[in-house]
Structures are given as structure tokens and as C-alpha cells.
Amino acid sequence: MKKLILISAFTLLLTGFTAKAADRLAVVELFTSQGCSSCPPADAFLGELAMRSDVLALAYHVDYWDYIGWKDIHAQAAFTQRQRQYAQTFNLRYIYTPQMVVSGSFETTGTARRSIIQAIETQLSKSHDIYLQSDNKTLTLDGPTQDGAVGVYQVSYHKEVVTEVRRGENRGRTLTDYHIVQDLTKIGQWQGGHMTLALDINALNKEGGHAVFLQRQDNLHIVAALRL
């Protein structure tokens, strides 16, 4: 099934298809760990956000808490590095869990519900003229010239996983994690105009959810997203 999103107040004829107005997506990224006793409330909150049609919720499990007794099987060093990039952008002196980042432009602790909801609404109120279309083999982009490079990322995630934790800070607890990122791949770079990119078909063949998002390379703001 072909899917289309329009992130604008207008319509556009795009490669033979008429773009239709659709809900914008705010991208909420949670940096978390099964070895962190402060994280389960934020994990549950992300699960709530994942139910919203206007939010793309993603959980990146980091690996720097693995040493305290429980190795998080979902953790990847690449996700810790992604969090470090955000820390540099936000001028933070350290990385921490649980941390939520909204569309690359706002960060706070993952349990600051009111601030996060407000940041989501702020993001959704912004107007963009970026058009994304996918047939699950390719991604077509169209939009105005950008004032900097924009990375195009494909992400795959487990929708829900339940784990019995036997060691570490959460020993004896049964944790439910949502939208756990498995793969994050940069599939291209865009600076505006019309472009078609090939999607990673192997990643799409995995069970779970799939999406793409566009992220500026200078300030890390996420300017568009599409569920696949």
C-alpha cells in the first residue's frame, strides 16, 4: 500500500499523485535502559505517546548502564553516540537517562510530561513545505531548497517487548518497553528539490514498525517524518 504525507497547508501534484493534507508527525526520541531504575515511568509514558497518530515515538536503548549488573539486549553503542551528539548540540555536560528529545529541538527528562506535551504541540504547530511519499521500496522527497544538508534516516523498531529483569537496579521487575529501535540507517542526504531514494528492503522485512525522518545535520532538528 502506498502511503503519503503532506507537511504543509497546501496541496501539490507530486509524481502523478495528488498530495493530501495529513497530520504532521512530531518525533519523540527516548534514551533509556533496562538497567536504569528511573526509566520505567518514562518507558510507560513513551508507550502512551506511541498511541498518538501525530507522534512517531522511538526508544533508543543505551549501553552505558550495562556494567551495573544487567545487560540490556536492546542497547547499542550507536545509540549512546546519538545521545552524545544531542548533548553537544544542547550544550549539556553529560548524558543521562531517561532523556526525551522532541523533533531534535527540545530535550528534558523523560518523565517531564507537561513540558514534553507542550513541546510536541509546538512542533505540530509549525508549518513545513516538505512532501514525503513511499511505496515501501523507494522514498520520494520534494520541497524548497534547504539552507543546509538534511540527512534522510530509515528506522525500524519493535513495537512492544516484555522482559523479566533478573539483575541490576530493576532486578525482579517485569519491564514493558515500547517502540524499541532495532536499526537506524542514513539512506541519503537532501538539500531540497525533488529526489527519490531506495529504502533498505532488508530492514523493512523485519517484524515491527518502520519509518523515515529528515534531520538537519547542523542543529539536528527533525523537519519531517513518515511512517512506512
Q: How confident is the model at residue 10 (pLDDT cuts 50, 70, 90)?
A: very low
User: Nearest Cα to 98, choosing from 85, 117, 111?
Assistant: 111
Model pLDDT for residues 41-61, shown as the tens digit of each residue? 999 999 999 999 999 999 999
pTM of the predicted structure, to 2 decimals: 0.89
Q: How many Å apart are CA 121 and CA 131, to the nearest integer?
A: 20
Under 8 Å between Cβ of 123 and 51: no
In the 3-class helix/strand/coil scheme, how is 53-112 assigned residue by residue? Answer: CCEEEEEEECCCCHHHCCCCCCCCHHHHHHHHHHHHHCCCCCCCCCEEEECCCEEEECCC
Strands 26-32 and 55-61: parallel
Tell me the per-residue pLDDT of 94-134, one tens digit each, with 9 for 90 and over.
999 999 999 999 999 999 999 999 999 999 998 888 999 99
- What is the reported pLDDT for 203? 84
Grid coordinates given for 34:
533496562
- Specify the DSSP element, H or E, that contains 124: helix 113-124
pLDDT above 70 covers a percentage of the chain that reads: 90
Confidence of residue 14 (pLDDT cuts 50, 70, 90): very low
**Distance between CA atoms of residues 54 and 193, nearest Å:** 25
When pLDDT is cut at 50, 70 and 90, the band that residue 205 belongs to is confident
Question: Is 19 a residue whose pLDDT tops 60?
Answer: no
Q: What pLDDT is attached to residue 136?
A: 87
